[in-house]
Structure 1
Amino acid sequence: MASALVGTLALPDGAVVRGRGLGRPAPDGPAPTYGLYLGSNRLRRKHDDSLTWDHDWIRWPDFLLPLNWADARRKILALHARALAGESVEVACYGGVGRTGTVLACLATIAGLSPDNAITWVRENHHHRAVETAWQRRWVRWFASAQS
């Protein structure tokens, strides 16, 4: 599945998603049709007006975990469904590493990888420091076990 978005990542099941940092300049090329953004109310206030496409937010403090796990899980599953259907989608936090990498690892578990393999895969294909904290690694494992 190809995407018109610059900087996309093809998941093991063929779904395509772009992971990026809102604190960096937006990539060249077309805008996504949907985005899932991870951060505080402050980050949302700073960037929400510039996100002119369909999007959702997960309240997720930097270096920590989502404040509402069920809501986060539902939105990540919906992001995957959109990506698998061929929509141009992205996921982003401020830096594009920890929270974004955690969601990319969750997406990789939906695509069939074990949690540990998903984390390794994201570190090899997105950013070497993706899924930055021990609790983010545990959350990927929780996310994968909640799929059953």
Structure 2
Amino acid sequence: MGRPWDPGAPRVVTLPSGRSVRGRGLRRPLPDGPPPEFALTLLGRRPASAPWPGRWVRWPDFRLPADPADLRAALQDALARAATERVEIACAGGRGRTGTALACLAVLDGVPPGDAVAWIRGRYDARAVETPFQARFVRRFSPGPGSAR
């Protein structure tokens, strides 16, 4: 396992547990610095392969994940990996799906669901979580079993 994300690097979010995750828009160039050691990719169709391990969750743009249980399992895996690996969560633009997933990840890590959208907008991107449906999805997302709470 490599060194963790630089907490001051752009698009890196430090969760309440101290674990760090980077959000990214795939349409942008790969940021300078170390690459991810694991990536969770949120797209409507299977992404091209990357030179690091990853997982894909089918999630069409401006919508909700096709399989919310798959997203939950992927986020639980990402949260566990973030304890020892550089984890990246990415969609095409890096705001709607990525912001929604990061807000749900924050819920799994102890942020109350009703606060998670504002929490991620304050720490990641002011325009994260783009649609009312995505915001409602986060508010209804429960920590459930296996969370860091």
| TM-score bin (small chain) | 0.7 to 0.9
RMSD, aligned CA? 1.6
d(CA) in 1 for partners of 2:142 and 2:124?
19
In the other structure, the counterpart of 2:128 is: 130
Secondary structure of 1:102's match?
Answer: helix
**Superimposed CA distance per residue, residues 91-143 of structure 1 (whole angstroms, 9 cap, x where no aligned partner):** 00000001000011011111211112111111011111111111111211232
Deviations 1:6-26 (A, max 9, x none): 532111111110001001011
Q: Which runs of 5+ in 2 are unaligned?
A: none
In 1, the alpha carbon distance for the partners of 2:57 and 2:19 equals 21
Scaled by the length of structure 2, the TM-score of the pair is: 0.87
Once the two structures are TM-superposed, the CA of residue 79 in structure 1 deviates from its matched residue by 0.5
Partner of 1:80: 79
Indicate the SS of the match to 2:107.
helix
Does 2:35 match 1:36? no
Identity %: 47
Aligned pairs for 1:47-126 (under 5 A) are: 48-49=48-49, 51-83=50-82, 85-126=83-124
Provide the C-alpha distance between the structure 1 equivalents of 2:111 and 2:89, rounded to a whole number of angstroms.
19
Aligned residue identity for 1:92: A
Q: 2:36–2:88: 8 Å Cα contact kept in structure 1?
A: yes
Structure 1, unaligned runs of 5 or more: none
Which structure has more helix as a fraction of its residues?
Answer: 1
Question: Is the Cα–Cα contact under 8 Å of residues 16 and 86 in structure 1 kept in the other structure?
Answer: no
TM-score w.r.t. the length of structure 1 is: 0.88
Q: Which of 127-136 and 3-12 deviates more?
A: 3-12
Deviations 1:64-86 (A, max 9, x none): 00111111110011101111x22
The answer to whether the 8 A contact 2:116-2:139 is kept is no
Aligned residue pair count:
140
